[in-house]
Amino acid sequence: MDDVEVRRLPGDLPQLFDDGIGLDAVERTLSVPLPEGDLIWPDPGYPQRRPLLRPAFWLSDEPVHGELWCRLRAEHPRSGLWPLLMDETDQPWASGQIAPEPASEIGNYHPEAFMSEVWADWAAQADEDDHDELAPFGRHCPGLAPPGVPLDDPDAMADRHARELAARGLPLGLVAVDRGADAPAVAGWQGALNHNEWTAPLAAVLRSWEDRFGVRVVGLGFNTLELSVAAPPITTRHAVHVAAEHWAFCPDVLFQGPGTLTGYAEEIRGKTSWSFWWD
C-alpha cells in the first residue's frame, strides 16, 4: 500500500480528472518529480461554453528543461497527463483567459467536414477570379491528404522537438487527456479564436494528423501551436495537398506567409515540425 501511496499522482493533480480523487486516481502513477507549480482555473469572467468544475491544467512556476518534458511524455500512458511547453510571451496562462472543452466534444467533429466548411466559406467570399493562392485546387476542396511515410518514431521525434523548444525558457503544463491531440481543447486554449470559435474541431484535425503524420502536440502559446511531425510530406505533390489542410486549419500561415499553397508547400516539405500562429 505504501508503494501505491508514493507513486500515485502527487498533490492536487488528481483534480485535473473528471473522477477527482476517486478510486481511478489511485491507478494513475507518476514517478517523475515535478517542480513547483499550480493548478490553473478559467477566469470566471471569461466566456465559457459550459461551467468547469475542475481546473484546466497544471503549470510550473518556472521554465523547465526539455528532458523533463520527455520523461513526462513517456509516463503519459500511466499518468494520464500530457506535457506541454507553455509560451507566456504574449500573456500569462495564470490570468485564466481559457475556455476548456471536454474531450468528448472532439469526436463530434470530422476533419474532412471541417476542411470542406472552411473552404466553402472562403469560396463564397472570394471574387470570381480570386483563387490563385489556392492553386491548383482553387474553389474545389481536395479533402484530406494521404498519410506520410514515417521518418522516425513519433515519440522520439517529439522528444527532440521538445528539447529544442525548451531552450526558449518555457514553463511546463500538464493536461489530463488520453491523447496529446486533445490537450489544446481540454486546456481551454483560445489561440485560434479569430479563425474558429471553438477548439474541439481543431483538436479533431490534430487527432487525424496524429494518425496520418505521426504528429505530437509539444507546445502552446497564447495564439501559437507547436507540433512535431514524424511522417511529413516528402514529394512536392503530397506537400501541396498537406498545405491545403494547413491553410484550412490556420489561414494565416498562407496569407501572412508565402501567399500561395505551392510556396507554403515548399516550406513544409520534409520538415519534422509544424508551427502555427493566428492573428
Q: What percent of the chain has pLDDT over 70?
A: 93
**Continuous segment of H or E residues that includes residue 218:** strand 215-220
pLDDT at 122: 87
Separation between Cα atoms, residue 207 and residue 107, nearest integer Å: 10
List of E strands, 33-184: 37-40, 57-63, 81-86, 171-176
State the pLDDT confidence band at 127, using cuts at 50, 70 and 90. low
pLDDT at 203: 98
Distance of CA 170 to the CA centre of its chain: 16
pLDDT at 243: 97
131-142 per-position pLDDT tens digit: 678 889 988 999
Separation between Cα atoms, residue 21 and residue 33, nearest integer Å: 20
164-189 per-position pLDDT tens digit: 999 999 999 999 999 999 999 999 99
3-class secondary-structure state, position 225: strand
Burial grade of 50 (CB within 10 A; 0-12, 13-18, 19 or more): exposed
Q: What count of other Cβ atoms lies within 10 Å of the Cβ of residue 28?
A: 20
pLDDT at 197: 83
Q: Are 36 and 22 in contact (CB under 8 A)?
A: no
Q: Is 234's pLDDT higher than 70?
A: yes
Among 16-30, 95-109, 171-185, name the one with the lowest average pLDDT. 16-30
Task: Report, as an integer, the average pLDDT of 126-135.
Answer: 71
H helical segments located in 52-139: 66-79, 103-106, 111-125
State the pLDDT confidence band at 2, using cuts at 50, 70 and 90. very low
In this structure, the dihedral spanned by the alpha carbons of residues 80, 230, 69 and 84, taken in order and rounded to 10 degrees, is -70
List of E strands, the chain: 37-40, 57-63, 81-86, 171-176, 215-220, 224-229, 273-277
Q: What count of other Cβ atoms lies within 10 Å of the Cβ of residue 52?
A: 17
Among 70-74, 160-164, 243-247, 256-260, name the one with the lowest average pLDDT. 256-260
State the pLDDT confidence band at 19, using cuts at 50, 70 and 90. low
Among 25-29, 103-107, 237-241, 246-250, name the one with the lowest average pLDDT. 25-29
Query: What is the model's pTM?
Result: 0.93
Separation between Cα atoms, residue 65 and residue 151, nearest integer Å: 25
> What's the angle, vertex CA 167, arms to CA 163 and CA 168, rounded to 5?
130
Question: What is the DSSP-derived secondary structure letter of residue 99?
Answer: -
Average pLDDT taken over every residue of the chain: 91
Q: Is 219's pLDDT higher than 50?
A: yes
Domain ranges of the chain: 2-107+144-277
Q: Is 5's pLDDT higher than 60?
A: no
